Structure 1
Amino acid sequence: MNLAFLLIVEDESDKKFILDLYLQFYPLLKQRAYSFTHNNDVVDDLIHDSFIKIIPKISFLRSLSSYKLASYIVNTLKHTCLDYIRKEKRRNQRVFTGMTDDMAEQIPNLLAAVTEDKYIQQEASEALEQVLLQLPERDRNLLYFKYNMSMKDKEIGRLLDIAEQHVRQYVARARRKALQIMSEGEGYNVRDE
């Protein structure tokens, strides 16, 4: 495990804090980075880049509660991955193969189809983000913990001070509210559950 980014941190307590965060969130961050890039070769680099970005914000990170801290670190990784994907896309567009009149024009562009799917997925994700911002904070947190962080009802209940047996119902209600907002804003067909 190469933790060269720790050399940037001067204070020993800050080094320990960052190292503890790294060890605590590494499995989740590795999973998230791979889900964005689908490339195991760059996952660790992206995680390290994310930690380099959060090192100047150590005092802010210390002030966050555990679930907000997790959310902040995962979002930092998400943006690092998106930056990487954008850079790779620009780099791939500049590749010159040499000949201008060759058979490459006759081969279907499979990368374009994948890129188009990612673009559609990104648009849907942005629309969902706008819907979630309209929800109350508790509902937003419930949906985030359940579906983004894949937390169990017991963990969600402990974090949000909700009885474990009621978490599933609260999540269902939050999901219904989100679907209601989507149907009002976008004209989606909402099915009752």
Structure 2
Amino acid sequence: MEDDKLVKRCQVGDKEAFQELISKYHPFVYKFLIKITANEDVAEDITQETFLKLIRNIEKFDVHGKAKFSTYIITISKNCYIDYLRKEKKFSQDLAIDENINAEDINTNTESIVLEKIYSKEVKKELENLSEEQKLAIKMKYIEGLTLKEIGEKLELEPKTVKSRIHNGIVKLRKIFEGGDKL
């Protein structure tokens, strides 16, 4: 509720409210971007771009809608990161972007963090080091956009088994990117 009041003040041009909002969310956005970029300078640049876009588009946030403000700002930062990847030619044009990524619980959602990186060449390379079962399940879910049920039907597996393979593969990928370890 506090965020809604702050956003309403921002929407009417209250500069102090903007400063409060930025102070409150800068660490949240920066930490998210550090996790997906693994580069402090890039994370800071994208954080700045995120807040510039937020300031320019604050009126688009519906304080009475379903989405939390934290989800809105993480979505902006995710899109800024994707723009950065495109500019750096690290974005693979043949992959479809899954616009249904839920950034709601970004601090605990390992899948969201890895999903952001799945479009980079580095992750595609590391994906090849997973077991065939994990690699196939992850590709079908995040690249082909299939549901757990659809993957299960194609592979003749229970959806819970598919979910487990995806989860375990993503955990392995996360360990690689957090610690620089090889599988």
Please, what TM-score do these two structures have when normalized by structure 1?
0.44
Structure number, greater radius of gyration: 1
Please, what TM-score do these two structures have when normalized by structure 2?
0.46
Greater share of residues in helix = 1
